[in-house]
Every structure is written in structure tokens, then in C-alpha cells.
Copies of this chain bind each other. A is one copy, B any other.
Amino acid sequence: MHNSSSGKSEKFAIRGVDGRARTGVFTTFHGDFPTPAFMPVGTQGTVKGVTPRDLKELGAQIILSNTYHLHIRPGDELIRDLGGLHRFCGWDGPILTDSGGYQVFSLPTLRKVEESGVTFRSHLDGAELRFTPERVVQIQENLGVDIMMMLDECLPYPATESATADSLAMTNRWGARAIAARRNPRCALFGIVQGGMYPHLRQRAVEELCALPFDGFALGGLSVGEPPELLHEMVEFSAPLLPPEKIHYLMGVGTPSDIVRAVGNGIDLFDCVIPTRSARFGRVFTRDGHINIKNAQFRKNPNPIEIGCECYTCQHFSLAYLSHLIHAKEVLAIHLATFHNLFFYQRLMREIREAIAEQRFSAYANEVLRREANSGAVADVDPRSVDPLS
């Protein structure tokens, strides 16, 4: 059983539990953030289409950026010399960076995977580059981020049991090397549990990896093209195996319904490109599923995206105006749709936290799932299967 008194980590304090769902606070050098939390994705040191002050206003408390992209351009040493990523990108709250492993394994740039590390080519200029577990920690310490992710091998779906077993074993050895490579105690370090779609391999990965003194644990190797139900099966099986006193991060997930289901299995932290990328294609979220503002039916609609929504976009602009902007290819369409979608996600997380604290999470989650199901709208953007640059 989890409860707040069981927390052993200095960085994470659980404040309430409701079934398997937990609400808590994670402490970083750049401030605390409440969980469950959703991190807007700022791959290249900017969440596309919004400013840092927009992010504050819409309720974001931690953002994600990308080790691979920032290492290649503008360079982690340049960012270090300019005072670190926070100063560089004008965001003074917590930042988590992924390890770059996902990009190395998903972009068509991979050259060689060895026990020692990964050799790949820059997607920008073809230059040969190398990531090792140690180098990836060093890059993230150069960036000065609050939460670093270890280098892991992220297998595609499907993968054989044998390949998955070998891969997770190497990932776990890389985890030990990442721990040994840490220099800056201000930067938390999270481990990544692999094991593909094989429960017994997930169990093995947890047993080995979670013996290491990481500050948090992620479920990796999911949302890589498997059927959604398989994703949720793996989360349901794996999340309860994670050390209860540590924060649990499900990488690259997901839709609002994915998030409430994962929270119900004990996940505390999420990132996903869905709200930002969808917005750029005109897809905006409502409590009853998403709509596409390109649709002709909105051309004369005087209402906001969602009646009652308190975001800047919904308080000031009609669907008719957003429709006009997107048809006229005006950049303001991206800003206003992104602002709304990120506000929607942050409101979802706030409501989830409140529901857990008030011991009514199950009813809240069921309501989210019911409304999304009734709408007939399912997210048509797979979060990690399309252009990894976005």
C-alpha cells in the first residue's frame, strides 16, 4: 500500500492516494511541481507557438526539452556558457530533458549500437556523433536541467522476446553507468524501465533498475506503435511494480483518456506532443472530444472552442475567427489553438489532482472516459509515431 508516510525520497512527497492513483509534490532546484503533472513538449528549447509567460499563465509547472536536438543545435556547451537552458529559453521553472535515446533510435540516423554506446549521424548535417550513458548525463548537466533521463535503448514495436531481453539488460547496465556519471546534485536523474510488451521482462527490468538510486522511474518503450490496449495493459502491469515512494513517469503519453487511465494505475508524470502538434493542424480539445477548426461547420460559429473555458483563446475569440485564421494561414491560429490545448491539458491535470485529494478519482476518470467515448472523437495523432522534430 502507498501512503504519504511511505515516501523515502527526498524529492518526492506523496500527499494523497485514491486507489492506485496518487497526488504529490516533486521538488527540484527550480521549484516544486504538483503531481500528476503534464509536461508541454519544447523539443528545441521552445514550446512551439507559446512564450514562457504564456506557459505560466496556462498553468504549466514543468516543461520537457530534448537532449538530442539541443546537443546538435545550438549545442549544450553554448547553452552552458550562456548560463544554462533556463536562462537561455526564458523559463525559470523545472525542466526535464529526455535522454536523446528515443531520437537516436527513431530518426534515420543510427549507425551502430554497442555496449559502450550509440554512434549516429546528425539529422542536420550528417556529422557522426556519439552518445554514451556518461556523455548523455554530461550533456544534460551542461544544460543544467532539473531532471535528467538516462540513456536507454528504445526498441521498436514489435520486437522479439530475445531481442527485448538483451536490450533491457544493456539498458540496465547503462543505468548503472549513468548513476556513476552524475556530477551535479542539483540535477535529478531518472531511470527508464524497458521490457517491451513482455510482462516478465518488465518485471526483470524493474527488479534490476529500481535497485539503483535513481530519483524517479519512467516506463519507456511504450507508445511506440503498439495497440492502445496493449499500452494500457503494460502500464497496468508495470506501474505497480515501481518503488511506490518514487515518482512514476510514463513517457510520450497521451490523450486525455490515456492519461486518466494511467493515473489510475499509479503514474505521476506525463509528456506528449498531442496538444501542441494537434493545435498546429487545427485540432482543439473540448471535454466532449476534439474538433477540427478547419471544418466548414465552424466558419460562422460565434462560440468559443469550449463554452465556459477560461483560457485566453476562449475568452476572446470565436470559432469563426479561428476558422478564418487557419484558412488564411495566419500564424496567430497556431498560437491561439496551442494556448487552448495546453490550457485544456493543465486543467485536466489540476482536476485529476483535486479528484485524488478528495477521494473521488474513479468517478472523475470515468466521466472523462465516458464523455470522450460518447463524442466519437479519438485522437488521430499518434504521439510518438510521426515527425520526431515536431
Contact = CB atoms under 8 A, between A and B. Distances in A.
A89 B321 contact: yes
Nearest to A317: B90
Among A50, A323, A324, the most chain B Cβ lie within 10 Å of the Cβ of: A324
Contacts of A335: 51, 331, 335
Interface of A: 44-46, 48-53, 73-74, 78, 81-83, 88-90, 299-300, 302, 312, 316-318, 320-321, 323-325, 327-328, 330-332, 334-336
A331 B330 contact: no
Contact of A74 (B46, B50, B89, B299): B299
A330 B74 contact: no
A325 B52 CA distance: 14
Nearest to A81: B300
Contact of A44 (B50, B89, B330): B330
Contacts of A312: 51, 53
Contacts of A316: 52, 90
A320 B90 contact: no
Contacts of A300: 78, 81-82
Contacts of A90: 316-317, 321
A48 B89 contact: no
Given A316-B90, A317-B90, A318-B82, A51 B331 contact: no
Nearest to A52: B316
Contacts of A327: 73-74
B46 A325 contact: yes
B302 A82 contact: yes
Contacts of A53: 312
22 contacts: A44-B324, A44-B328, A45-B324, A48-B331, A48-B332, A49-B331, A49-B332, A50-B332, A51-B312, A51-B332, A52-B316, A53-B312, A73-B324, A73-B327, A74-B299, A74-B323, A74-B324, A78-B299, A82-B302, A82-B318, A88-B321, A89-B321
Contacts of A336: 51
A330 B48 contact: yes
A330 B328 CA distance: 20
Cβ-closest 8 pairs across A and B: A90-B316, A74-B324, A46-B332, A44-B328, A46-B330, A49-B331, A90-B317, A82-B302
Contacts of A73: 324, 327-328
Nearest to A334: B331
A320 B316 CA distance: 34
A236 to B, nearest CB: 37
A289 B48 CA distance: 29
A331 B43 CA distance: 13
A30 to B, nearest CB: 16
A364 B330 CA distance: 37
A49 B333 CA distance: 9
A50 B317 CA distance: 14
A334 B331 CA distance: 9
Nearest to A333: B46
Contacts of A44: 324-325, 328, 330
A143 to B, nearest CB: 13
Nearest to A73: B328
Nearest to A89: B321
Among A90, A299, A336, the most chain B Cβ lie within 10 Å of the Cβ of: A90
A248 B327 CA distance: 35
Nearest to A45: B324
Among A45, A73, A74, the most chain B Cβ lie within 10 Å of the Cβ of: A74
Contacts of A334: 331
A42 to B, nearest CB: 10
